[in-house]
């Protein structure tokens, strides 16, 4: 192209001369001089322009080019203006699936009456974190399934991906688009974009309030559980559990009431703490034997006080001190942070004297004692939260961790006392509404060839139930078995209380034998794992403890 222009340029003076034109170019000094053109810099451009101008077709091209440029500029300008105008009439909000608000909106959308007439929908059995529990949250039942208690998977109609859906909300036209956004090469999150034809944000707030209220109403009888997300150190709602009545947790007299009252008082005393310059935080350490009701009590208190539970798993892969601090600082006020088995993340008790190297060698992750302490009550620790920590190994915990200000209230859980056993029995076989609790709701087995004959459920009066309960409790040795074991035994005969009493002695013997066997196995494992006496030079060198126990 350039060589073509050069050729044209060298021929031009000849043509100009032939046409009788008089032009001065480059460094020519004489009118009519036709020296070769010196093309360089700006002069080169000017020359090119003159060359092109000399041709009629080139002029047309230039005009066309200029016209195109002007038209495109005008188009872009008009486009921007148009969208500015449109945007000023529309409110747009986006919701991402790793946030609670997304679930509110999805549940709200799936419940819109006109949504059921939509012609382009995604059919899903997912309930968006909302547990299906009553007719209002059941979604759509297929014909013939309504009223069938065995049909547990109602369907929900949801916006399909990509295609925008439009509908009306409180007299406002609304467009809803559901899409996906990649978070990394393997995973993506869903995004819901809602544009509402409205100038005021009020309609958006109305929509949010309505969807949140609907969602929360259906969750009134449940406790929401949050865990740490898979990619980042952020909180995700991982599900919910039905609220556990406080009286279903059987503890010694007044113990659970004391914890509940303390927690309730704390939640309501923000101003009290502020007035005294105290950090508004309270920690509870529930320690004792496994299966004695520690976790059950936390869930029960969360239900009583309407608090969500945020489970901190110290053993989570990749969680380090700064991640833990970040998580704790993001806990919302009036929530429960639950650290289960606070000792278990360390293979042995951490204490102040443990060096960093030792900690590293003995921990499964990178949480240090210092990191844990500063997460609990450091400068970034959130206010207004209740911390519950549980452990089976109280002695393994460092005094700094369990001092007042970090874990203020310590509650011991022991093996079942006779009082607990008796209460548990009554709770199992008697309901408080005064009707005899007995009758099984289970249907007979379908198979007629089965040799198993289902025992008949028993009916009993309150007096009979109380009598059996105290007889049962008297046969269970005090503080020998965990409540969870006794519950397991009762569950084997859940409709036959007198059978429970008949079999209790045999059960106690069986449990004792099993316990002895476990202890024997543990002792032999410990002895294999313990280092050999160095004076014993005959045998092979003993393996390190980790290998021996592996
Ligand atoms: N005190 C109790 N009252 C009623 N039920 C109990 C009690 N203790 C244990 N259970 C029952 O035993 C099971 C285990 O209880 P839970 O998980 O609360 O025990 P835990 O002390 O937290 O055990 P772990 O230390 O192993 O985590 C639950 O099903 C619970 O219903």
Q: Is the CB of 483 under 6 A from ligand 1?
A: yes
CA 340 to ligand 1: nearest atom: 27
Nearest Cα residue to atom 20 of ligand 1: 291
Which domain range does residue 509 map to? 418-439+456-528
Work out whether strand 121-124 and strand 156-159 pair parallel, antiparallel, or are unpaired: antiparallel
The mean pLDDT of 292-309, rounded to a whole number, is: 96
Nearest Cα residue to atom 13 of ligand 1: 484
Q: How far is the CA of 362 from the centre of ligand 1 (A)?
A: 29
Q: Is the CB of 290 under 6 A from ligand 1?
A: yes
Q: How far is the CA of 408 from the centre of ligand 1 (A)?
A: 22
**Residue 395 and residue 424 in one domain:** no
Q: Where are the alpha helices (DSSP H) in 93-235?
A: 100-110, 202-218
* 11 in any annotated domain: no
| Backbone phi and psi for residue 123, each to the nearest 5 degrees, phi listed first | -100, 125
pLDDT recorded at residue 150: 54
| Per-residue pLDDT band at 23 (split at 50, 70, 90) | very low
**Residue 405 and residue 425 in one domain:** no
pLDDT recorded at residue 478: 94
CA-based radius of gyration for the chain:
39
**Residue 210 and residue 275 in one domain:** no
The mean pLDDT of 409-415, rounded to a whole number, is: 96
The mean pLDDT of 403-420, rounded to a whole number, is: 94
What tens digit of pLDDT does each residue of 76-87 get?
999 888 877 777
pLDDT recorded at residue 149: 54
Higher pLDDT, 89 or 324: 324
State how far Cα 140 lies from the chain centre. Answer: 26
CA 248 to ligand 1: nearest atom: 4
**Residue 165 and residue 97 in one domain:** yes
Q: Is the CB of 250 under 6 A from ligand 1?
A: yes
Q: What is the tally of structural domains in the chain?
A: 3
**Residue 400 and residue 426 in one domain:** no
CA pair distance 305, 321, nearest whole angstrom: 30
How many C-beta atoms surround the C-beta of residue 306 within 10 A? 12
* 4 in any annotated domain: no
| Residues pairing with 168 in the sheet | 173
CATH of the domain at 393: 3.40.50.300
Instruction: Collect all residues with Cβ–Cβ distance below 8 Å to 373 and sequence separation of at least 6.
Output: 400, 401, 406
**Residue 257 and residue 377 in one domain:** yes
What tens digit of pLDDT does each residue of 302-357 get?
999 999 999 999 888 888 889 999 999 999 989 999 999 998 666 444 444 444 45
Q: How far is the CA of 116 from the centre of ligand 1 (A)?
A: 44
What tens digit of pLDDT does each residue of 242-251 get?
999 999 999 9
The contacts found for 129-138 with CB under 8 angstroms, 24 or more apart, are 129/100, 129/103, 129/237, 129/239, 129/240, 130/103, 130/215, 130/218, 130/219, 131/219, 131/222, 131/239, 131/240, 133/218, 133/221, 133/222, 134/218, 136/218, 137/107, 137/218
How many C-beta atoms surround the C-beta of residue 320 within 10 A? 15
pLDDT recorded at residue 296: 97
Q: How far is the CA of 481 from the centre of ligand 1 (A)?
A: 12
Q: How far is the CA of 249 from the centre of ligand 1 (A)?
A: 8
* 545 in any annotated domain: no
Q: Of all residues in the chain, what percent carry a pLDDT higher than 70?
A: 73
**Residue 250 and residue 396 in one domain:** yes
The residue among 428, 147, 388 whose CA lies nearest residue 285 is: 388
CA pair distance 219, 239, nearest whole angstrom: 11
Instruction: Collect all residues with Cβ–Cβ distance below 8 Å to 549 and sequence separation of at least 6.
Output: 525, 528, 529
Q: How far is the CA of 294 from the centre of ligand 1 (A)?
A: 6
**Residue 291 and residue 371 in one domain:** yes
Instruction: Collect all residues with Cβ–Cβ distance below 8 Å to 530 and sequence separation of at least 6.
Output: 545
The single-letter DSSP state of residue 40 is -
Q: Is the CB of 375 under 6 A from ligand 1?
A: no
Put simply, whether the predicted model's pTM sits higher than 0.95 gets the answer no
**Residue 193 and residue 313 in one domain:** no
Q: How far is the CA of 417 from the centre of ligand 1 (A)?
A: 14
CA 484 to ligand 1: nearest atom: 12
Q: Of all residues in the chain, what percent carry a pLDDT higher than 90?
A: 36
Q: How far is the CA of 287 from the centre of ligand 1 (A)?
A: 12
The token duo for 275 is 């007035």
The token duo for 240 is 């919910």
pLDDT recorded at residue 548: 36
CA pair distance 105, 210, nearest whole angstrom: 9
Residue 437 has pLDDT above 60, yes or no: no
Decide: 506 and 475 in contact? Cβ < 8 Å: no
The mean pLDDT of 113-130, rounded to a whole number, is: 70
Higher pLDDT, 85 or 536: 85
What tens digit of pLDDT does each residue of 473-487 get?
999 999 999 999 999
Q: How far is the CA of 416 from the centre of ligand 1 (A)?
A: 11
**Residue 277 and residue 397 in one domain:** yes
The token duo for 251 is 């503890």
* 50 in any annotated domain: no
pLDDT recorded at residue 46: 79
| Backbone phi and psi for residue 391, each to the nearest 5 degrees, phi listed first | -155, 150
| Per-residue pLDDT band at 536 (split at 50, 70, 90) | very low
Nearest Cα residue to atom 27 of ligand 1: 290
* 323 in any annotated domain: yes
Q: Is the CB of 294 under 6 A from ligand 1?
A: yes
53-90 exposure pattern, b = at least 16 Cβ within 10 A, e = fewer: eeeeeeeeeeeeeeeeeeeeeeeeeeeeeeeeeeeeeb
* 86 in any annotated domain: no
Q: Is the CB of 484 under 6 A from ligand 1?
A: yes
Nearest Cα residue to atom 29 of ligand 1: 484
**Residue 322 and residue 265 in one domain:** yes
Q: How far is the CA of 292 from the centre of ligand 1 (A)?
A: 5
pLDDT recorded at residue 543: 37
Q: Where are the alpha helices (DSSP H) in 34-161?
A: 41-53, 56-89, 100-110
* 486 in any annotated domain: yes
pLDDT recorded at residue 62: 83
Nearest Cα residue to atom 17 of ligand 1: 295
* 82 in any annotated domain: no
The token duo for 175 is 């467009």
pLDDT recorded at residue 1: 46
**Residue 242 and residue 333 in one domain:** yes
| Per-residue pLDDT band at 365 (split at 50, 70, 90) | low
CA pair distance 426, 408, nearest whole angstrom: 33
The residue among 290, 284, 292, 211 whose CA lies nearest residue 249 is: 292
Work out whether strand 308-311 and strand 335-339 pair parallel, antiparallel, or are unpaired: parallel
């Amino acid at each position: 192209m350039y060589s073509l222009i050069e050729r044209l340029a060298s021929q031009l003076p000849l043509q100009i001369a032939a046409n009788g034109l008089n032009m001065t170019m480059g460094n020519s000094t004489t009118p009519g001089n036709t020296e070769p053109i010196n093309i360089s810099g700006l002069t080169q451009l000017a020359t090119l322009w003159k060359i092109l101008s000399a041709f009629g077709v080139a002029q047309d091209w230039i005009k066309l080019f200029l016209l195109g440029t002007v038209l495109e500029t005008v188009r872009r300008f008009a486009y921007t203006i148009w969208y500015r105008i449109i945007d000023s009439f529309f409110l747009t909000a986006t919701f991402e699936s790793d946030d609670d608000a997304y679930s509110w909106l999805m549940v709200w959308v799936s419940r819109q009456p006109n949504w059921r007439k939509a012609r382009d929908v995604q059919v899903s059995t997912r309930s968006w974190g909302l547990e299906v529990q009553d007719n209002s949250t059941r979604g759509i039942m297929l014909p013939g399934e309504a009223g069938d208690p065995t049909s547990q998977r109602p369907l929900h109609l949801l916006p399909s991906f990509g295609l925008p859906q439009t509908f009306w909300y409180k007299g406002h036209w609304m467009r809803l688009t559901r899409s996906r956004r990649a978070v990394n090469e393997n995973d993506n999150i869903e995004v819901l974009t809602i544009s509402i034809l409205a100038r005021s944000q009020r309609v958006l707030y109305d929509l949010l309030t309505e969807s949140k209220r609907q969602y929360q109403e259906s969750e009134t009888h449940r406790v929401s559980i949050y865990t740490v997300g898979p990619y980042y150190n952020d909180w995700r709602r991982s599900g919910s559990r039905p609220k556990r009545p406080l009286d279903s947790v059987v503890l010694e007299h007044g113990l659970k009431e004391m914890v509940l009252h303390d927690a309730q008082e704390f939640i309501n005393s923000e101003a009290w703490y502020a007035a005294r310059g105290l950090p508004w935080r309270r920690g509870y350490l529930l320690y004792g034997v496994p299966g004695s009701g520690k976790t059950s009590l936390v869930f029960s208190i969360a239900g009583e006080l309407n608090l969500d539970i945020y489970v901190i798993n110290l053993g989570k892969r990749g969680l380090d001190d700064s991640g833990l601090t970040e998580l704790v600082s993001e806990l919302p006020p009036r929530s429960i942070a639950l650290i289960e088995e606070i000792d278990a993340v360390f293979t042995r008790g951490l204490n102040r004297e443990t060096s960093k190297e030792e900690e590293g060698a003995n921990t499964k992750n990178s949480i240090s004692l210092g990191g844990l302490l500063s997460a609990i009550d450091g400068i970034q620790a959130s206010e207004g939260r209740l911390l519950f920590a549980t452990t089976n190994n109280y002695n393994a915990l460092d005094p700094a961790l369990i001092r007042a200000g970090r874990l203020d209230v310590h509650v011991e859980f022991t093996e079942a006392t006779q009082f607990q056993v008796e209460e548990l029995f009554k709770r199992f076989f008697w309901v408080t509404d005064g009707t005899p609790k007995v009758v099984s709701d289970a249907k007979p087995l379908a198979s007629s060839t089965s040799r198993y004959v289902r025992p008949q459920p028993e009916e009993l009066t309150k007096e009979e139930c109380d009598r059996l309960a105290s007889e049962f409790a008297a046969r269970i040795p005090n503080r020998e078995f965990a409540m969870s074991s006794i519950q397991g035994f009762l569950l084997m005969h859940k409709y036959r209380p007198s059978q429970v009493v008949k079999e209790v002695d045999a059960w106690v013997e069986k449990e004792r034998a099993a316990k002895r066997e476990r202890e024997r196995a543990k002792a032999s494992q410990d002895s294999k794992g313990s280092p050999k006496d160095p004076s014993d030079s005959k045998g092979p060198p003993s393996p390190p403890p980790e290998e021996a126990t592996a």
